[in-house]
Chains A and B, each alone.
Chain A
């Protein structure tokens, strides 16, 4: 069973309109690499040149911020959902 990456509305023009993209489970960094390979423009917007998420990109595996897990080394299991959100909400 694949894992799913949820794409924010304003970036769906970069995924041919898809709200969610299915990827192979594994380390988050591999998932993001896979996503960036399929949608290079999306990859460039999410990740800096060092392969780390940009400062204002928050990534959640299930409901947990990856900064409380193992960052981009966090393992994403079968069926889990990865959510990408702008960091600038709230307050």
Chain B
């Protein structure tokens, strides 16, 4: 059973009943799900989790909705792979990659969405929607189809064409003449007029909780130990804040040893770096920007959780770095070449930031590090075009004339 008991305002601690609400009427602060932690601690165990399904629903006791197969496309329990070749290139020690490109719609967004759509079913809603830079749209359309709900997914008009192909087969894609922040504003306004479950608006408290599972899995896959340092891409900042919260909750319910703070670092693109800028300036004021970056899935100029992600990074002793588009592309190729994982630019931003943090001594060789790769490279094929490849005659000589092999 689910142990969520109420929604609570992060700013003024006012409590609300569990409903399709996302902000506090009194101070406009974000609402977050509150749980009966003692009850969870009394029922949850490593053995119970291990006996659960091979998806994120194995952590249902720590999620705000009853476990259901109605929205289960298999999100979660993605590989955590040791990345020794990449670590050697970057001068790091124990490095792991959490390969979240291997979710049902090839991005981490399947995690929050399987939870949010389950909540939409519980609330009796017939239609789900979202404001998206592309990955979320795909996840919402897929999980809505699985659950038998209608979906409207709103995206900026200029997102990568590949991000729309699958989504358009699954639901209704609405292209908006504006950037993500315009799309987001529109969806917040639509929320007043439509009785929908907009996953990152009125279902946001539940939706965001789904992202904790990437931290739960990290610990479980490390043999129920916490890493020392994690690097997380920042778009809205919700993933980063939930990763930090996820690690804390594991200790609170007794699944891992307490007393350890995981250092959490954030990765942004220079062309959309409101959180990195505030971090560099030592400011709490995350000022909005007009994004201009190839990392379109991170192109949120006004991040809803910018303030809180900054707080998590500072409190844990992490850092936020911004990297250029060129560094991002180099990092996509580096990850592919060294570890066999092909990522979209968000993952390139994460690996380039990891490199920068290592160079700057912010991450040390003695740390056990996990980097989160959140979206698949085939979603953005135009970013690393293979170029003109020679066509050889179908003969051994034809091959040998064109290619010099090493062995």
Give A contacts to B, CB under 8 Å: 8-11, 45-46, 54-58, 60, 63, 65, 67-68, 83, 85-91
Contact = CB atoms under 8 A, between A and B. Distances in A.
B28 A54 contact: yes
B30 interface: yes
A89 B237 contact: no
A90 B187 contact: yes
A55 to B, nearest CB: 7
B192 A89 contact: no
Contacts of B290: 68
Interface stretch (B19-27, B253-261, B328-336): B19-27
Contacts of B131: 89-90
Interface string B154-193: 0000000000000000000000001011101101110110
Interface string B133-169: 0000000000000000000000000000000000000
Interface of B: 11, 21-23, 25-30, 131, 178, 180-182, 184-185, 187-189, 191-192, 200-201, 204, 208, 235-238, 287-288, 290, 300, 302-305, 307
A89 B237 CA distance: 12
22 contacts: A8-B192, A9-B192, A10-B21, A10-B23, A11-B25, A54-B27, A56-B27, A56-B28, A56-B29, A56-B30, A63-B182, A65-B288, A86-B22, A86-B188, A88-B22, A88-B23, A89-B131, A89-B184, A90-B180, A90-B236, A91-B237, A91-B238
Nearest to A7: B192
A25 to B, nearest CB: 22
B25 A89 contact: no
A90 to B, nearest CB: 4
Give the dominant DSSP class at A's interface: mixed
A35 to B, nearest CB: 15
Given A58-B302, A67-B287, A68-B288, A91 B28 contact: no
Given A86-B30, A91-B303, 11 more contacts: A45-B26, A56-B23, A56-B29, A57-B28, A58-B185, A60-B185, A65-B185, A88-B28, A89-B191, A90-B181, A90-B201
A88 B204 contact: yes
A60 to B, nearest CB: 7
Contacts of B188: 85-86, 89-90
A91 B307 contact: no
Nearest to A60: B185
B106 to A, nearest CB: 19
A78 B23 CA distance: 31
A64 to B, nearest CB: 10
B206 to A, nearest CB: 14
A87 B288 CA distance: 11
B304 A65 contact: no
Contact of A89 (B22, B29, B288): B22
A10 B184 CA distance: 18
Contacts of A67: 287-288
